[in-house]
Homo-oligomer: A and B are copies of this chain.
């Protein structure tokens, strides 16, 4: 910066003021400084600037992986918002328990970012408390954390609508296939189960635990087993509401391999609307991770500017059912009393 100052014949203060766009610089001086900066290919060192301002112009995110449709889309949305605000994005990827422990022990984001977005973890009380004394805004994404700003999709309502879609088609035996990961059921997983149950109850149907089966995510074999269990039931379902599109696709795969037609003999609906849903023409409950990312980014930015605003804000994003080709009325429709069904 000293070089630029010298070349423009001004002090470094003036260069600083010019480059930050402060209006207290005369036009001629501004022009001279800008030209000098351009000629010298000068870029301000964020580090030095942070040191004195205390702001890093950097937002950190904590994610379990980068390698998923959801995270890719969410971070793309977030990146968009951050770039528009002149903020940079640093990513902490925490794939396993060891890394997670290390992260919460050292909290490396401390002082090196203006805000932290925590994606898709089901945090313990301790971890949340640890983040509380981070002295920076923390936004929780894809999870509800009481008293802290959160952004998430309305999984319960989504599952209700997805299930209702099947009910409205006339299905009465509707199964739910959910995923169980290394850490047990995720938060979304539980919410979607709740929604599924709620829709059935609303429709006056009994909750049959045999109709709820588990599978590891992204595992054909697991899905095959789950489907096998459902087909082995005395009264098998006529429709499956899967917790995620990937599971739905695996279910469809298994059914077709077993020569059971979808949707002719069995309807299948998913949740997410990720690209694979289009390839399979899958009926699904759509959410927008990219919007989640954007909203979370904007919330973080607003918290950076006004640390006290929105401190407890929960932003709940909507879903919508996209009917496609994997759901249809059941093969032998029973004479269901339509009046008892709430509208889809």
Say how many copies of this protein the assembly contains.
2
Cα(A76)–Cα(B58), bound, Å:
20
Once the chains are docked, how many angstroms separate the CA of A286 from the CA of B72?
21
Contact with B along A45-72 (1 / 0, CB 8 A): 1111011000010100000011110011
Chain A interface size band reads: 35 or more
Stretch at the interface among A88-96, A298-306, A326-334: A88-96
- Contact status of A112 and B218, CB under 8 A, knowing A66-B75, A67-B76, A73-B67: no
For the complex, give the distance between the alpha carbons of A79 and B276 in Å.
26
CB-defined contacts of A72 to chain B, threshold 8 Å: 65-68, 71-72
Min C-beta distance of A110 to chain B, whole Å: 4
Whether A290 sits at the interface, judged by CB under 8 Å, is yes
**A106:B51 contact, CB within 8 angstroms:** no
Determine whether the beta carbon of A133 is less than 8 Å from that of B67.
Answer: no
> What residues of B have a CB within 8 angstroms of the CB of A106 in the complex?
43
| Interface residue A253 (Cβ < 8 Å from any Cβ of B) | yes
A112 contacts across to B, CB distance below 8 A: 43, 45-47, 88
**Cβ contact within 8 Å between A107 and B47:** no
In the complex, residue of chain B having the shortest beta-carbon distance to the beta carbon of A90: B90
A93 contact from B43, B79, B108, B290, Cβ within 8 A: B79
Q: Say which residue of B46, B108, B249 sits within 8 Å of A43 (CB atoms).
A: B108
Given the known interface contacts A45-B111, A47-B112, A111-B45, the answer about A83 and B76 at a Cβ–Cβ threshold of 8 Å is: no
Give CA–CA (A71, B279) in the complex, Å: 21
Task: Decide if A228 is an interface residue (CB 8 Å cutoff).
Answer: no
Report 30 cross-chain contacts, Cβ distance below 8 Å, ordered by A residue: A41-B107, A43-B106, A43-B108, A43-B111, A43-B112, A45-B51, A45-B111, A46-B47, A46-B112, A47-B112, A51-B51, A66-B66, A66-B72, A66-B73, A66-B79, A67-B72, A67-B73, A67-B290, A68-B72, A75-B93, A76-B95, A83-B92, A83-B99, A88-B108, A89-B90, A89-B92, A91-B91, A218-B275, A220-B278, A279-B279
